[in-house]
Amino acid sequence: MKSYVIGFVMSLVLTIIPIVIVMNDLLEGVSAKVVLMVAAILQFVVQLVYFMHLREEKKPRYNFMVLILGLVIVLTVVAGSIWIMTFNKVVQ
């Protein structure tokens, strides 16, 4: 139970920080984007450690391998989408 409460509180804090920054215009431009991305990455790590119990896994680490494969697929789709949106110029 202690692990879930710690994870829940950390998730709340990592959700509130970006909301406060965006709603109150505390940061702008690149610095706001960096804070939002760092909070998102930390939120991802908290979810993996406290709720999916990734650290408690015994050998073989199939769940970890599937997670890495999923991340590679997601990053490929996101990077490809950004690539297409950036360099898709209509020539007339």
Q: What is the pLDDT of residues 9-39, one digit of tens each?
A: 999 999 999 999 989 989 888 888 899 989 9
Residue 50, classed as helix, strand or coil, is helix
Contact 17, 35 (CB under 8 A): yes
The amino acid at 50: Y
Extents of the domains making up the chain: 1-56, 58-92
Q: How far apart are CA 26 and CA 18, in angstroms?
A: 10
Q: How far apart are CA 16 and CA 22, in angstroms?
A: 10
pTM of the model: 0.67
Residue 14, classed as helix, strand or coil, is helix
